[in-house]
Structure 1
Amino acid sequence: MKISVTHKDAMKFEAKTEKSSFIIDCPTISPIEYFLSGIITCSATDIVMIPKNQGKTVTDLVVDGEVERAEDHPRKFTKLHLTYNFNSDADDDTQAARWVMASVETYCSTINTIRDTTEISYSITHNGKLIRENEKMISGGGSKIDMGDIDACCS
């Protein structure tokens, strides 16, 4: 994977990937908000694709993310809670929960990139029923590694 970011003007940057490009407009949307959006979107795509590969369909998917960050710079994520809300034709709630667990534990590379330094939990509402609440990620769980201070973009 390769991405190039070019300063345009003021606090606007253009990110070019191998397939597309988009504008990052700080501080309208900060890089950390893009980062969290990427984490959520990574997992959301799993929640659509895993069932599809099993001949099942997910509809009305909404994934909310809430983070707590360290007070000191570089203000890394210390806690991440993801809330999954969706309908599906899963055989049962256990199958639906397994889709989320597969994403969180195995397939979502963005979540797995931060799991060693971030305590991660999730809740799942499937077909209008809360089936998991504040479940902790099985692996990872955060650690207290100090990477030191850095100058950073606005957050």
Structure 2
Amino acid sequence: MDYVVKRIGKMAFYARTPSGHDIHMDAKETSGGDGSAPTPMETVLAALMGCTSMDIVAILNKMKVEDYKYWISANCEYAQEHPRVFTKIGLIYHFAGKDLPKDKIEKAVSLSQDRYCSVSAMLKKAVDITFKIEYEEDET
């Protein structure tokens, strides 16, 4: 696979993926950038959250789980010295709906974390990733 990253500003870059999509990145103003786009580390965390979310939605679709709201949030800790890598990532899977099938949701999340999410599998080699599931009863 061929990737290309080009400089488009002081510390701003865009990446062209093999599928033809552009990803813009920039450094924070405190690091010499304009803050015009996510930092590379922010895109890594977004990739993790996107990867596991796509797994979960696909697995729940196969399980015929419908009518739920879903979102994911994360908190993380960084190393104090360079390289400022993630040292801990905590994922929080949020599900809202009426009569949620918690057993199927828990299975989908576990399958994503333990088997399918390639971003998670790669990051787990270097960072402690934990997760929890939160449920919200939603009458709509």
Task: Determine if the TM-score, normalized by the shorter chain, exceeds 0.5.
Answer: yes
- Aligned residue identity for 1:13: F
Q: Secondary structure at the match of 2:133?
A: strand
Q: Which runs of 5+ in 1 are unaligned?
A: 130-155
Point out where structure 2 has 5 or more consecutive residues left out of the alignment: 29-34
Selected match of 1:35 from 18, 41, 44: 44
Whether the 8 Å CA contact 1:64–1:82 is kept in 2: the answer is yes
Identify if the C-alpha distance between structure 1 residues 58 and 39 changes in structure 2 by more than 3 Å, giving closer, same or farther: farther
Per-residue deviation, residues 68-92 of structure 1 (Å, max 9, x unmatched): 1111211221111000001368873
Alpha-carbon distance in structure 2 between the residues aligned to 1:32 and 1:61: 24
2:73 is equivalent to residue 64 of structure 1: yes
Cα deviation, residue 126, structure 1: 3.0
Does the aligned pair in 1 maintain the 2:98–2:137 contact within 8 Å?
A: no
Which residue does 1:82 correspond to in 2? 91
> How many residues are paired up?
129
The 1:88/1:107 distance shift into structure 2, 3 A limit, reads farther
Other-structure match for 2:5: 5
1:128 partnered with 2:124 = no
Letter in 2 for 1:11: M
Q: Which residue is equivalent to 2:114?
A: 105
**Secondary structure of residue in 1 paired with 2:7:** strand
Secondary structure at the residue paired with 1:71?
coil
- Asked if the contact 2:76–2:90 (Cα under 8 Å) also holds between the matched residues in 1, the reply is yes
Looking at structure 2, the residues matched to 100 and 58 of structure 1 have their Cα atoms a distance apart, in angstroms, of 17
SS of the residue corresponding to residue 15 of structure 2 reads: strand
Partner Cα separation in structure 1 for residue 59 and residue 3 of structure 2: 27
Counterpart of 1:104, as a letter, is Q
- Report the Cα offset of residue 55 of structure 1: 2.1
State the superposition RMSD in angstroms: 2.1
Cα contact 1:65–1:83 (8 A) shared by 2? yes
CA distance in 1, matches of 2:68, 2:4: 34
Structure with a larger share of its residues in helix: 2
Q: Which amino acid aligns with 1:10?
A: K
106-115 or 57-66, larger mean C-alpha shift: 57-66
Deviations 1:39-97 (A, max 9, x none): 11111111211111222226321101111111121122111100000136887312111
Matches within 5 A, 1:131-150: none
**TM-score, length-scaled by structure 2:** 0.81
Counterpart of 1:116 in structure 2 is 125
Query: Relative to 1, partners in 2 of residues 1:38 and 1:30: Cα closer, same or farther, differing over 3 Å?
Result: same
SS at match of 1:87: strand
